[in-house]
Amino acid sequence: MALKRVVVTGLGAITPIGNNLANYWQALVNGVSGAAAITRFDASLFKTQFACEIKDYNAEDYFDRRDARRLDMFSQFAMIAADEAIADANFGENYDKERIGVIWSSGIGGQITFQEEVSKFAIARSKDENAPPRYSPFFIPKMIIDIASGNISIKHGFKGPNYSVVSACASSTNGLIDAANLIRLGYADAIVTGGSEAAITEAAIGGFNALKALSTRNDDPKTASRPFDVDREGFVMGEGGAAIIVESYESAIKRGAKIYAELVGIGLSGDAYHLTAPHPEGEGAAIVMRNALKDANMDASEMDHINVHGTSTPLGDVAELKAIEKVFGKHAYQLNVSATKSMTGHLLGAAGAVESIATIMSIVNDTVPPTINHFTMDPEINPNFKLTFNTAEKRNVNYALSNTFGFGGHNASVIFKKIDA
């Protein structure tokens, strides 16, 4: 059986630097930082007191009051991004909804709901040790990760494959890969896929601080996420969501859909090394990129741009560049490499979808977003790399790759191609 081609026909985003697709892309090109002091809670006693929050957000601008109360913020972000992407794809009334699926991802899910409900019970017990356990009937339905895909499916009546994927920070790229494979094999004609995260909470910030994973540059949050800089010292937490409509090429052509790009290569691998640290020589990262190139049936010399995982951690950034050198050889220095987490922060399980959109838009616009906040080159990094520092760069982008890596050694890569006229 010949595998079906997979194309992208809809995009949607709500990010710390733009609350829709157009604003997100414009901010990326302009090198805008989304980092600022945390407003979700009083962070004055935490080692890290800043994050990349969604700006000017009011749930009741998108949902009625009852629905806003019944949806954890990660689900709200999921539905907002999905609504934009679905409208962008413009399926029409005659599209068979049994052939449209939803695969949604998150690394943590309803963190806000979990913290609130457990805290309420703990407070009640502190006042009365015999206080009966009282939890909201919406506690579990608001918290579980798969509820986002369920909510999207219910709202739009999509009855195709419906589930969630969790692989830490690689989650939404893994979800995108699952969606592509289901379309390739003919199990669906189109799938709404993506990821969302709302983990700027006391528990999450405190937990990542305990791991020493977060930047503590409280005096200068906007420059705290600085991939490849010698003074980088941790990632910046982000929140938001992104949705991508993947569809069979046959279906898209039949209905005259707008096509952003073709998804031509997918790669998966495991580090098999450490719970949180990448392999220092980038072995797993090299494997996953080779697998994606092989799946795309392309030569490494054809690649134009890589949106790297690039979290701004001392170990991760160097290991990923070593992997790129292993895979691409001398061509590695002809690639434009970008670390867009320097602007959005790290959206954990949503990072792959958010950065895949940046990668797709770089192809559509022949423009590579910058890696901002670069001041001093790390001597461990080969200076021959084109790391697109501080300013976006125009170039013809026919092929672009997006990398995403997660705690536990989960690696996922996707390759997009400019669609033939």
Q: Would you call 32 helix, strand, or coil by DSSP?
A: coil
Residue 1 lies in a domain: no
Please report the pLDDT score of residue 132 as a whole number.
87
Q: Would you call 312 helix, strand, or coil by DSSP?
A: coil
Residue 121 lies in a domain: no
Report the chain's terminal Cα–Cα distance, integer Å.
Answer: 26
* Helical pair 202-210 and 111-127, crossing angle rounded to 10 deg: 100
Please report the pLDDT score of residue 421 as a whole number.
63
Q: Just list the catalytic residues.
A: 169, 309, 346
Contact at 8 Å (CB) between 391 and 296?
A: no
Residue 102 lies in a domain: yes
Please report the pLDDT score of residue 420 as a whole number.
79
Q: Please count the CA atoms within 13 angstroms of the CA of 249 that sit on its side-chain side.
A: 13
* Helical pair 171-184 and 351-365, crossing angle rounded to 10 deg: 60
Please report the pLDDT score of residue 2 as a whole number.
87
Task: Look at residues 70, 71, 69, 66 and name the one whose alpha carbon lies nearest to residue 82.
Answer: 71
What average pLDDT values come out for the chain (421 residues) when binned by 10 residues? 94 98 98 98 98 97 94 98 98 94 97 94 88 91 97 98 97 98 98 98 97 97 98 97 98 96 98 90 96 98 98 95 97 98 98 98 98 96 97 98 96 96 63
Q: Would you call 342 helix, strand, or coil by DSSP?
A: helix
Model pTM score: 0.96
Enclosing H/E stretch for 359: helix 351-365
Q: How many domains does the chain have?
A: 1
Contact at 8 Å (CB) between 339 and 312?
A: yes
How big, in percent rounded to 5, are the helix, strand and coil portions of the chain? 40, 20, 40
Residue 133 lies in a domain: no
Can you say whether residue 214 is alpha, beta or left, with left for phi > 0 and alpha for psi between -120 and 50 degrees?
beta
Tokens of 121: 């019970």
Q: Cα separation of 3 and 19, whole Å?
A: 36
Please report the pLDDT score of residue 398 as a whole number.
98
Residue 77 lies in a domain: yes
Task: Look at residues 321, 343, 313, 349 and name the one whose alpha carbon lies nearest to residue 213.
Answer: 313
Q: What is the DSSP letter of 18?
A: B
For residue 260, what are the domain limits?
Answer: 6-110+145-417
Q: Looking at this protein, which amino acid is placed at residue 111?
A: Q
Residue 136 lies in a domain: no
Burial class (CB in 10 A: 0-12, 13-18, 19+), 129: exposed
- Give the CATH number for residue 66: 3.40.47.10
Residue 357 lies in a domain: yes
Q: Cα separation of 111 and 109, whole Å?
A: 6
Task: Look at residues 176, 232, 208, 204 and name the one whose alpha carbon lies nearest to residue 357.
Answer: 176
Nearest-5° Cα angle at 274, 412 to 279: 65
- Secondary structure (DSSP) of 203-226: HHHHHHHHTT-B---TT-GGGS--
Nearest-5° Cα angle at 162, 189 to 243: 70
Would strands 100-105 and 162-165 be described as parallel, antiparallel, or unpaired?
parallel
Burial class (CB in 10 A: 0-12, 13-18, 19+), 78: buried
Contact at 8 Å (CB) between 335 and 324?
A: yes
Nearest-5° Cα angle at 319, 268 to 343: 85
Contact at 8 Å (CB) between 101 and 188?
A: yes
Please report the pLDDT score of residue 93 as a whole number.
87
Residue 132 lies in a domain: no
